Structure 1
């Protein structure tokens, strides 16, 4: 720093007040941020007391994204309401942090210039994908839409293999990139609904990635954003896709009646438009919702409707529905059975699923193996359960899906608590695997 130049940073009294209200010291807040970040990303961000003091002093006016997200979840308010101020160039993206969706309108450029295409990358913990180059000024057209969709499909492929926690941040970056281009550029009435549709598709995907990462509130905000764009695009099938995601989340949270209502609305709205695979998926959502409420007869009836709908499915579903196969229907039936407490039947269905030809997505394989281990354990087949759980443990370093990783952790804890033969050996290997994962991520 040059001599005589003084930096004045205003103290963050908002954050200081919230810390006082919650009885948190700087060291305690750092610990809470690390814990929340681990829940979000399955990895540490290395927050220290020094970080917190720099936020409080105003030396850092806009923390890095992962700190902001952890703080947002911790205090249940956006970063802009925590006393932080985004740099001018980032204020448009801070709206996404706050969960606020700003209506997207075409903006005419101040002056006619040749558009400048830029090449950026979506960086995940396991790969870097090229963001589609979009004009900084000028017109957006259908070729731009196709490039965006191609990148979104690659994100889904990564999600299928590695889990949502790996790609949630990259998906958000893609959304902001496309939304920014939509604000800066002009486009015709033919292109406009396609832009809203592709933004809605990306928002739907990011919501699913966040859900898979165990971040339910963030997932719901993204799905709300996706529904608004689906309405602007006048695309009922996109709405149904998002409702299918929301119904699955509601089942996980124990809201069976809400889950069934959401899925039925999706079926009614898309009755004349949907593909057989989407119909099958929506009926499995109703089946699981009924299972959550303890209605076995209604659940079985919905599963039968799903099988009938699947027989009418097209051969080439959209990328997000690629997972919907006969094996997936068996997987959903197994989830319904285990939810109803029939673990032996659930284990049988999972084992029948293994015999089905399928494109085995690694994340789904991890979920399948973990759920089968739980069903075997609860149906009194402990030896098989530990052998199956050990297969899931071996996948753990390669799949970042807290939704299923938490189930494997619960399996470990339950087995140890019940003092089953073989439980201590499995727990020891599981703990070593988790410790190795932590070392690799720090």
Structure 2
């Protein structure tokens, strides 16, 4: 096998990837998203952290990933004991190792996008390119871009690529984001503008995934301000232009999704004006590029924000606009979520009939099941989220017993990965129980939320818990209420 270093502007010959039919057979009747969830669960069982999603599964099955990184290898061998990588349809590691990508430009992104563990492996020292697939079609060389952008592309792409690559507790996550922001400022100072390449697109998409993973675990507080730096970097890349139209399209989509993710961090931490601005930015990006999927996502979050900000009629309009643009995308699960956004608006307007009709649509659409058209960002939307959003609707309508029933189901059904959502649903349950005249059960649920606050920092959850505490004040003599109130009063508030 020849070296990957390119010494001329001529594109290198390529071999089309060979589909991994064995891996596809092992997935069976599960959708790519469902199989990805199973991979993440298996990783947690052995103490690994992988960010597997439907796109990764698709790349494996298409043969674009000929050999997984070491973290994925350990997970797959745990899932299918007694088998080797070749038994799972992968190429031997010896056939794909040793091909380092020295080039940048359109080549800089040709690395395993989830390679967050192997960068520290003894055979892969701090080099995210060390396991690139030499036949990955996303890694083809553009000789002109390579010649012009080598040093600049590598340095600036690495800044984005390092974004959100460290996990741990909320404090560690926040600190890692702060370091990225400072690194970007230092790297960008005085640098001539250059055109973006595929490496930037990969890095941007990975930054979006890492924000979502950190938010799932830890909530938004402590992450929002630091996450703004990669967003500024993303729009700087858009301003600079791209080497190819396909790359430009990915950058626009990635920047829009990043704006929504940063907007959600603002939203969840109570910065509603900032969130509104970020969502509007994403919507403008979607409109300029004709990206219906991004537009639907921006309207979806705008509807949610409007409901939380006390503008229920705007929430209904935004949710209906999202449904109009999303209908041709062919994702019943997306339409289900958007119907729930509409239901939340009707509940805020105290329109029980409109709310019930939207909830019925949401349930019927959800039951159609997952499809290949489901957006990657909807990985959070499962039965637990469906129950949780319905609980919020009944709570706004003042039907506390019904709200508590759905909130309890949501907390029970939630995947343990989504620590923030478990805390959110349990806080919703505590509030519904308190307002429904069951103070002892409310205090017990509130205690469970307090147990999670060392992992989760969310102003939304803290505000809900504070409201529950106020409702419980007249019931200090009920079992457990006094203990909850005392412990709640001792918890420091985040800003």
TM-score between the two structures when normalised by the length of structure 2: 0.61
Work out whether 1:336 is the aligned partner of 2:372: no
**Counterpart residue number, 1:125:** 171
State the distance in 2 between where 1:249 and 1:313 align: 26
Aligned position for 2:295: 239
Matches within 5 A, 1:145-184: 145-184=201-240
- The change in CA–CA distance for 1:358 and 1:300 in structure 2 (over 3 A counts) is farther
State how far apart, in whole Å, the 2-side matches of 1:165 and 1:153 are. 18
Q: CA deviation at 1:367?
A: 0.6
Question: Tell me, what secondary structure is at the counterpart of 1:164?
Answer: coil
Q: How many aligned positions are there?
A: 328
Give the root-mean-square deviation of aligned CA atoms.
Answer: 2.8
Question: SS of the residue aligned with 2:344?
Answer: helix
Give the 5 Å matches for 1:406-417. 406-417=463-474
Q: Which moved more, 1:255-264 or 1:165-174?
A: 165-174
Tell me if 1:366 matches 2:423: yes
Deviations 1:167-201 (A, max 9, x none): 21232111112222333454333322222111111
By how many angstroms is 1:139 displaced? 3.8
**Compared CA separation, residues 279 and 348, structure 1 to 2 (3 A):** same
8 Å CA contact retained: 1:153, 1:319: no
In the TM superposition, residue 166 of structure 1 has moved relative to its aligned partner by 3.0
How far residue 420 of structure 1 moved from its aligned partner, in angstroms, is 5.0
In the TM superposition, residue 355 of structure 1 has moved relative to its aligned partner by: 4.4
Shifted more, 342-351 versus 356-365: the winner is 356-365
In structure 2, how many angstroms separate the alpha carbons of the residues matched to 1:115 and 1:247? 43
The corresponding residue for 1:310 is 366
For residues 399 and 356 of structure 1, the distance between their equivalents in structure 2, rounded to whole angstroms, comes to: 19
CA contact (8 A) 2:299 2:319 kept: yes
Matches within 5 A, 1:146-295: 146-184=202-240, 186-295=242-351
**Structure 1 contact 363–399 (Cα < 8 Å) conserved:** yes
Does the 8 Å CA contact 2:426/2:446 hold for their aligned counterparts?
yes
1:115 correspondence with 2:151: yes
Runs of at least 5 residues in structure 2 that lack an aligned partner in the other structure: 1-144, 165-169
Report if the CA contact (8 A) 1:373-1:389 is conserved.
yes
Q: Give the C-alpha shift of residue 332 in structure 1.
A: 1.2
| TM-superposed deviation, 1:274 | 4.4
> Is the contact between residue 288 and residue 335 of structure 1 (CA under 8 Å) also seen in structure 2?
yes
Contact 1:115 1:136 in 2 (8 A): no
Given that residues 312 and 348 in structure 2 are in contact (C-alpha distance below 8 angstroms), is that contact kept between their aligned partners in structure 1? yes
Tell me the SS of whatever aligns to 1:408. helix
Task: Say if 2:195 and 2:240, in contact at 8 Å, map to a contact too.
Answer: no
Q: Is the 8 A contact 2:391 2:403 kept in 1?
A: yes
Q: Does the 8 A contact of 1:326 with 1:356 survive in 2?
A: yes
Secondary structure in 1 aligned to 2:222?
Answer: helix
Secondary structure at 1:312's aligned position in 2?
A: coil
In structure 2, the partner of 1:5 is none
Give yes or no for contact 1:193–1:232 (8 Å, CA) kept in 2. Answer: no
Matched, 1:430 2:476: no
Alpha-carbon separation, structure 1, partners of 2:279 and 2:414: 32
Secondary structure (helix, strand or coil) at the match of 1:271 reads helix
State the shift of 1:335 in Å: 0.8
1:381 aligns with 2:444: no
Residue 165 of structure 1 aligns to a residue in which SS?
coil
| Equivalent position to 2:407, from 347, 350, 364 | 350
Cα distance in structure 1, aligned partners of 2:256 and 2:477? 48
Q: CA deviation at 1:138?
A: 4.4
Q: Is the 8 A contact 2:204 2:251 kept in 1?
A: no
